[in-house]
Amino acid sequence: MMIPEILKKLKRGPQVILPKDAGIIVAFTGVGKKSIVVDAGAGSGWLAVFLGNICKKVVSYERREDFAKLARENVKRAELRNVKIKENDVFEGIDEREVDLVTLDMGDSHLAVPHAYAALKTGGHVFGYLPHAEQVTRFKTECERVGFREIRTFECIVREMLVRESGFRPDTTGLWHTAYLVFARK
């Protein structure tokens, strides 16, 4: 698996959102150098660092002290000054307003959807990283209930190709399912 240089500096603790999925987040939401992002469920901080490398500002919420500590250390390793790790519970609310994107990567992400809606500017996106189909259903239902539109669910599967003198074919190993990617727009 190919990992960008900025992520190679980081340590892993809890599960991380890998570049194959992080790239889709950027592509489908259009975040960039003027964007402000709230990332909830910081974990190891990989997504916060990935987004901080291209966005104006990232504020990442993490309720577990040990995960918040690791995420802060990873932000420091990446030498990013525009990423802040907050040891706060996103289920109690989001302080930021008029943001371009809210990412939710935690169990019961659907419970934070109303807070994401309140934090987003019109046209902004909420994103759910959901390993199980049942989570997708709850997330989508909550997005509809609070007024999100353009709700879409994807799975990103990347398979490397073996290119050899003796022939070209798909590799038989690979990273298949990581999570379902759910996007909605305010």
Domain that holds residue 72: 5-185
Cα 183 from chain centroid? 11
Q: What is the CATH classification number for the domain harbouring 79?
A: 3.40.50.150
Bridge partners of 40?
A: 61, 104
> Per-residue pLDDT for the chain (186 aa), expressed as one digit of tens each?
677 778 778 778 888 888 889 999 999 999 999 999 999 999 999 999 999 999 999 999 999 999 999 999 999 999 999 999 999 999 999 999 999 999 999 989 999 999 999 999 999 999 999 999 999 999 999 999 999 999 999 999 888 888 999 999 888 776 677 899 999 999
Q: CA 49, 53, 57: angle at the middle one, nearest 5? A: 85
Quickly list DSSP for 96-111: --SEEEEEE-STTGGG
Total tally of structural domains belonging to the chain: 1
